[in-house]
């Protein structure tokens, strides 16, 4: 059974998220984004969930789930309704590669697919993040194609509801 749980991120997580933002593996996976934590942790728009993953009560990572069609900045451009998109990272290097990310994704996918109308989940790792591509493919995601988001060359992957195991 998973020892990982997800809870809502709060303004009390500010220092933790800023600390994780400085870790080389977090920077490597997301070099160009400013998450504006001070502002964003203080608000809860209904198109987004910002989550802290905990391992038996110890915070180990961050996840965000959005409805890309309703997200304010229109990061995903013109996308249909009934989708979700996920961001994920583990904070400390010592916690990488221990199965925690798989548990985090399983919990997040349950949230994404809880509304019966949601058809698929999107994810956009950097094109260079080959280990993350393998990680998503193991979870059932399929490669859609390359796409440039701002300054980042990304690969889009998509998990269809029937492929969610
Ligand atoms: C991607 C990530 C969430 C996976 O979680 P995890 O707990 O490390 O993964 P698990 O232990 O469940 O599964 C192991 C797999 O994770 C991936 N992984 C492990 N370390 C990784 C790293 N530093 N960067 C990217 N992927 C990694 C690999 O696919 C690995 O399998 P492999 O050993 O066969 O290559 C986590 O590694 C991470 O936070 N990486 C850095 C940030 C990142 O790349 N986020 C994704 C951006 S889209």
Question: Per residue in 116-148, pLDDT tens?
Answer: 999 999 999 999 999 999 999 999 999 999 999
Domain positions in the chain? 4-163
Cα of 100 from ligand 1 centre, angstroms: 9
Q: Residue 108: CB within 6 Å of ligand 1?
A: no
The response to whether residue 89 sits with its C-beta less than 6 Å from ligand 1 reads yes
155 lines ligand 1 (CB under 6 A): no
138 lines ligand 1 (CB under 6 A): no
- Asked whether residue 1 carries a pLDDT value surpassing 70, the answer given is no
Three state DSSP letters for the chain: CCCEEEEECCHHHHHHHHHHHCCHHHHHHCCCCCCCHHHHCCCCCCCEEEEEEEECCEEEEEEEEECCCCCCCCCCCCCCCCEEEEEEEECCHHHCCCCHHHHHHHHHHHHHHCCCCCCEEEECCECCCHHHHHHHHHCCCEEEEEEEECCEEEEEEEEEHHHCC
pLDDT per position as a tens digit, 59-116 = 999 999 999 999 999 999 999 999 999 999 999 999 999 999 999 999 999 999 999 9
Percentage, residues of the chain above pLDDT 90? 97
Mean of the per-residue pLDDT values of the chain:
96
CATH no. of 4-163 = 3.40.630.30
pLDDT bucket at 33, cuts 50 / 70 / 90? confident
- Model confidence, pTM: 0.96
């Amino acid at each position: 059974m998973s020892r990982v749980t997800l809870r809502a991120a709060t303004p009390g997580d500010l220092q933790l998220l800023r600390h994780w933002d400085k870790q080389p593996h977090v920077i490597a996976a997301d070099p160009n984004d400013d998450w504006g934590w001070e502002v964003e942790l203080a608000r809860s728009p209904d198109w987004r969930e910002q989550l802290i993953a905990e391992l038996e009560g110890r915070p180990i990572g961050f996840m965000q789930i959005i409805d890309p069609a309703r997200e304010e900045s229109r990061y995903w451009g013109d996308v249909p309704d009934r989708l979700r998109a996920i961001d994920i990272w583990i904070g400390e290097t010592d916690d990488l590669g221990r199965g925690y990310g798989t548990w985090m994704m399983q919990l997040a996918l349950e949230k994404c697919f809880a509304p019966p109308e949601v058809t698929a989940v999107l994810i956009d790792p950097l094109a260079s993040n080959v280990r993350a591509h393998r990680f998503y493919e193991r979870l059932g995601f399929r490669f859609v194609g390359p796409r440039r988001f701002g300054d980042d060359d990304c690969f889009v992957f998509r998990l269809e509801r029937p492929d969610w195991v």
